[in-house]
Structure 1
Amino acid sequence: MSVFENIAKKFVEARLSAGSLSEYPGEAPLTLSDAYAIQDEAITLWPDAVAGWKVGRINGADAERFGTDRLAGPVFNKLIRHQTASEMDSPVFAEGFAAVEGECVIIVAEDADPSKTGYSTQEAIALVGSVHTGVEIASSPFSGINDHGPLVTISDFGNNYGLIIGDELPDWDTLEFGRWPFETLIDGQTVGTGDASGIPGGPIESFRFMLENSARRGMPLKKGMAITTGAVTGVHAAHVGQKAVIKTHGARDIDLRLSAVGKFVDSPA
């Protein structure tokens, strides 16, 4: 078993068993290619299909060092849910890391050309089927995942453990993302406000990045996939038992409460 396979196996085992990791399970990756190689190995081990992707930020000196300001992680079919009218139970790793992130979610209109690995902004826009409000559930069994830089984050599924897809944004096709302000509350207290125009290049640049990233890894985007495009109000750490509300102009509030994740078979379908 290779070093990458061993790290991937340990992360997948911890996730499937609802376990925890107090330390990184091996030598941390040193390059983007190594980090994505670990992620790719883990995808092959996970007993569910990729049905979407999360796009996160790489900031500051790391963005200059790695030549990109974004990172990607898979979102699996059984961990994608559509908003209901009631408070939604959202499992996270109780002894790991957990956070909620209000996001604009792009639904892919058509299968991407598997031979195409470069996209212009206009080419990306042509593949946008709709744009929704949503919540990424960021969680990992490794409690220190956000303390060791973007490569460690990439290596464990980009620190993702689910997605809630909310209402379609009204008149989303204008792509005027400043029209849809977000507010995130945890236990009734506002922890962040903003709109997606504050993300460099906005959600469309995140989508363009994901089109290229997935294609170059041999996993081109498919019709109906959901792409989370970046935390609009920030990454808000939370714990089991806490309630979060994500408010977006023109859409219903998304209410959720964090619970302790069970074994994968008990995860929401």
Structure 2
Amino acid sequence: MTEAEIEAAAVLLADARRSGTQIDRLPVTPSSVAEGHEIQDRVAVLVGEPVGAFKAGAPPDAEPTRGLIEARMVRASPAHMAVAEAPHLGVEGETAFRFTRDLPARSAPYTCEEIASAVTVLPVIEIVSSRFREPLSRPKLEQLADCGINAGLVIGPETADWSHLDLARLRMTFIVNGEVQIDREGGHPTNDPIAGAVALANMMPGGVKAGHIVTTGSWTGLPFLQPGDRCVVRFEGLGEAEVVFDG
């Protein structure tokens, strides 16, 4: 993408965020993860909302990615979210991490052990919605430019001492309107939940700050709900997060 194309994409997405409208596509699809991240960053500047959290993925065979989450859309469980705020009503039950101290950018990558000593763990529900009218029909790099089609994050209780937990093998229960949809041990897409936190610390140009939260991959797939639905995700040993979509 040219400089002008990156700027045009950012303006289009920022306008959609401010107006609550949806668009069909970007004029030009990003050709790299770096371009997708650059569009995200410019949208954040244009919209002017502070960033309160991130989503991050660290697939073993691909470049890591991140998405910005506006602070106003990070809500404590039990939470309510208006349909107008997240019209696609997608949900993903996840484990997330809150950084307990600043980790500034440095030349040597942070190790998993260093990150593990600098985070608490939380059960969360990532709210999935998009500025695209049909988000899953768009190329992955367009979805990335739209912050990984994120609309918000509902956070449960923090666990500071989680050294006794095998995060990849936690028992997870996913409940919609009182009915259990999933009940199983494990389910993280890479079986390595903390890898996303490590990737985020190493990919952010300015590092990460104490208080930042990063959610790191869906254990539940991506179900889409209906107005009025109540969704709960529960992780044994961590607690639960809950959201209700107000119609």
The question of a shared fold, defined as TM-score above 0.5 by the shorter chain, is answered with yes
Deviation at 1:199, TM superposition (A): 3.3
Task: Give the secondary structure class of the aligned counterpart of 1:2.
Answer: helix
CA displacement, residues 120-161 of structure 1 (integer Å, 9 cap, x when unaligned): 222222322x10111111111213222233211110011111
Which residue in the other structure is 2:94 paired with? 103
Hey, what's the Cα distance between the residues in 2 that align with 1:141 and 1:117? 36
Hey, what's the Cα distance between the residues in 1 that align with 2:161 and 2:155? 17
Task: Answer yes or no: is the 8 Å Cα contact 2:99–2:210 preserved in 1.
Answer: yes
Hey, what's the Cα distance between the residues in 1 that align with 2:155 and 2:11? 29
Deviation at 1:179, TM superposition (A): 5.2
Structure with the bigger percentage of helix: 1
Deviation at 1:106, TM superposition (A): 0.4
Hey, what's the Cα distance between the residues in 2 that align with 1:30 and 1:42? 18
Residues 79-228 of structure 1: matches in 2 within 5 Å? Answer: 79-84=73-78, 88-93=79-84, 97-116=88-107, 118-128=109-119, 130-169=120-159, 171-178=161-168, 180-195=170-185, 198-214=188-204, 218-228=205-215
Hey, what's the Cα distance between the residues in 1 that align with 2:121 and 2:151? 21
Hey, what's the Cα distance between the residues in 2 that align with 1:139 and 1:237? 10
Task: Answer yes or no: is the 8 Å Cα contact 1:182–1:195 preserved in 2.
Answer: yes
- Greater shift after overlay, 247-256 or 106-115? 247-256
Deviation at 1:96, TM superposition (A): 5.2
Deviation at 1:253, TM superposition (A): 3.9
Gaps of 5+ in 2: none
Hey, what's the Cα distance between the residues in 2 that align with 1:75 and 1:117? 27
Task: Give the secondary structure class of the aligned counterpart of 1:236.
Answer: coil
Hey, what's the Cα distance between the residues in 1 that align with 2:123 and 2:198? 18
Which residue in the other structure is 2:31 paired with? 30
Query: What percent identity do the matched residue pairs reach?
Result: 23
> Is 1:230 aligned to 2:217, yes or no?
yes
User: How high is the TM-score relative to the length of structure 1?
Assistant: 0.80
Alignment CA distance shift 1:213-1:201 (3 Å): farther
Task: Answer yes or no: is the 8 Å Cα contact 2:131–2:149 preserved in 1.
Answer: no
Hey, what's the Cα distance between the residues in 1 that align with 2:162 and 2:108? 26
Which residue in the other structure is 1:258 paired with? 245
Task: Give the secondary structure class of the aligned counterpart of 1:172.
Answer: coil
- Aligned-pair RMSD on alpha carbons? 2.6
Deviation at 1:171, TM superposition (A): 4.7
